[in-house]
Amino acid sequence: MKKYKIGLFGFGCVGQGFFETLNSNTEISAEVVKIAVRQKNQVRKADAKLFVYDIDSVLNDDDIDLFVELIDDPDLALSIVKTALSKGKPVVTANKKMLAENLEELIELQNKYKTPIRYEGAVCGSIPILKNIDTYYNSEKIESIKGIFNGSTNYILSKIFNENISYESALKSAQENGFAESDPTLDVEGHDPKYKLSILASHIFGQVIHPSQIINWGINKLQKHDFDFAKENDLKIKLVAKVEEADNELSLLVAPHFVSKYNPLYHIEDENNIVTIEGAYSGQQILSGKGAGSLPTGLAVLSDVREILKGQGYNYKKSLVLKPIKNDLVEAYVSFSLKHSFVTELFQSITERYVGKDYSYVIGQIKISQLQTIIKLKSVNAIITSGNKIENITSKISYSYA
Ligand SMILES: NC(=O)c1ccc[n+]([C@@H]2O[C@H](COP(=O)([O-])OP(=O)(O)OC[C@H]3O[C@@H](n4cnc5c(N)ncnc54)[C@H](OP(=O)(O)O)[C@@H]3O)[C@@H](O)[C@H]2O)c1
């Protein structure tokens, strides 16, 4: 049986995880023959003869059958993927930013060169959501996908709720434990889950949804009074990514949400991820598990290698009618300092209001475009309260006003 030759780019967290899962697998007839890395003089957990420091020497090796791209530089990753496709060599990658920002072009290139790319590891680590969307759910009419797509922020929020510590201490703990980067901006501002949502939504609805079409904000500005409000009302705050279809229109959002214990998202702790799928025929289905990490993501990459060796790319179903993207009214809790009291006037209807000495809040219906503007103001925070009947918390709240 032919033993396929793999050229690997990157030997960091995921690269090593992939290498280890491949080497302990007895069914996939493939081996890594070259690994491109950046830094010389590093101790590597693999045969030193495999390592090269020149990307082109891997890309131009005609003996290599397929490439696995696992570096942490989206621009370089894009250039590797494009070159590989132009040579008719399939690629597996996990770079969500590169994929989300260039998906349209990458689909065209796959068609042009009749060569596939796969990227399960880019969306929620080990959770096999893309493969399932592409095959099993291809026949389903998906009405919504909601989930927790970012392990670092979920770890931070879990720490805050379970250990009663501040946002700053929780972020520090996430960094010390390797769950958050030293520059955590992409995670805590909600960009990372936006890239994943963009890829997922594009596969579900058959129309490419660029990340710039998705409104997002993160958890980095939340204040103690926002967390206190959640705790007093038996709620948790989760950074939720969601796409919903209604009346042939799509709405997409990444934002902090209040969730009650009746919502499966409430129970997802630490670095774990969850994807809930609402289908017209199947009802609600749930996938949850490790959304990042060396071996879990390495396994997702290995699963893609297996599909590629079977000649299996993604289906990329096409939307018959392009659905407009709409984000209009949402129900939100908005807290603000007194100098931003004008916020109250932006609400179309108000169900609850609190005016305090240090901060105030309003719960009610507001246009998402207005939320997007005011959330940029210092000391204004917004948490979505709607999205699921049980999350319509305002009718349940009995809160004593100061
Ligand atoms: N970490 C996760 O849990 C996770 C989960 C899902 C997806 N991903 C995605 O997977 C990809 C890899 O992430 P990671 O966490 O494994 O990153 P990482 O630990 O930082 O490793 C990056 C690797 O890329 C190599 N590299 C960087 N620039 C290079 C260059 N110019 N030439 C050659 N090699 C270069 C580095 O080489 P040196 O070793 O020499 O520095 C390193 O081996 C990223 O796109 C990430 O978004 C990661």
Q: What ligand 1 atom has the least distance to the C-alpha of 44?
A: 39
Q: Is the dihedral of CA 167, 170, 176, 179 positive or negative?
A: negative
Can you give the pLDDT at residue 386?
A: 66
Q: Which residues are catalytic?
A: 196
Whether 95 is in the pocket of ligand 1, judged by its Cβ within 6 Å, is yes
Q: What ligand 1 atom has the least distance to the C-alpha of 39?
A: 40
Q: Tally Cβ neighbours within 10 Å of residue 396.
A: 11
- Smallest CA-to-CA distance from 305 within 72, 21, 2, 106 is with 21
Angle at Cα 327 formed by Cα 280 and Cα 342, nearest 5°? 140
pTM above 0.85, yes or no: yes
Is the separation of the CB atoms in 308 and 4 below 8 Å? no
For residue range 285-342, list pLDDT tens digits in order: 999 999 999 999 999 999 999 999 999 999 998 887 899 999 889 999 999 998 999 9
What burial letters (b/e) apply to 178-208, b meaning 16+ CB within 10 Å?
ebbeeebebbbbbbbbbbbbbbbbbbbbbbb
The mean pLDDT of 189-218, rounded to a whole number, is 97
H helices of 87-146, in order, are 96-113, 129-134
Angle at Cα 340 formed by Cα 336 and Cα 342, nearest 5°? 115
Whether 21 is in the pocket of ligand 1, judged by its Cβ within 6 Å, is no
Whether 17 is in the pocket of ligand 1, judged by its Cβ within 6 Å, is no
As given in the structure block, the two tokens for residue 337 are 């300092």
For residue range 34-65, list pLDDT tens digits in order: 999 999 999 999 999 999 999 999 999 999 99
Whether 10 is in the pocket of ligand 1, judged by its Cβ within 6 Å, is yes
Q: Whose CA is closest to atom 18 on ligand 1? A: 12
